[in-house]
Amino acid sequence: MTIIETAKITSKGQITIPNEVRKILHLEEGSSVIFCLGKEGIVLLPCKVVPELPYTPKEWEKIKNIISEKSRVYKTIKGAKKHINGIC
C-alpha cells in the first residue's frame, strides 16, 4: 500500500502529519517519532522515549553519603584525599 500525502513546512520548520498517516501509525497528541534519512528519502517511525537516569543506584548512594558528611577540615592534602577515596 503506497500512500502519498503532502504537507507544507511552516516558517518555524514544522509540518502537520496528515490524518491518514497518523491513523496508520497510531500517532496521537504527545506521540514521539523518529526521522530516518536514507538514500530514498525520509522515513518517519513512531517511537517511545524512555528517560535515562543520570546516575546508577550505586552512584546515587555515594552522592547521598557525600552530602550527609559533616564538613571536615584537613591538616594535609593526603588526609583529604584519603577521606575522598574512602567515600568514592
Q: Express each pLDDT in 18-45 by its tens digit.
A: 999 999 999 999 999 999 998 888 888 9
User: Which amino acid makes up residue 75?
Assistant: K
Q: Report the pLDDT averaged over residues 55-71.
A: 81
Residue 3 pLDDT greater than 70, yes or no: yes
Taking residues 51-75, what's their average pLDDT? Answer: 81
> How much is the pLDDT for 88?
64
- Nearest 5°: phi and psi at 41? 135, -150
Q: What is the pLDDT of residues 64-88, one digit of tens each?
A: 887 777 667 778 888 878 877 776 6
Which residues contact residue 48 at a Cβ distance below 8 angstroms, ignoring those fewer than 6 apart? 32
CATH class of the domain whose range is 1-49: mainly beta
What HEC string does 52-80 produce? CCCCCHHHHHHHHHHHHCCCCCCCCHHHH
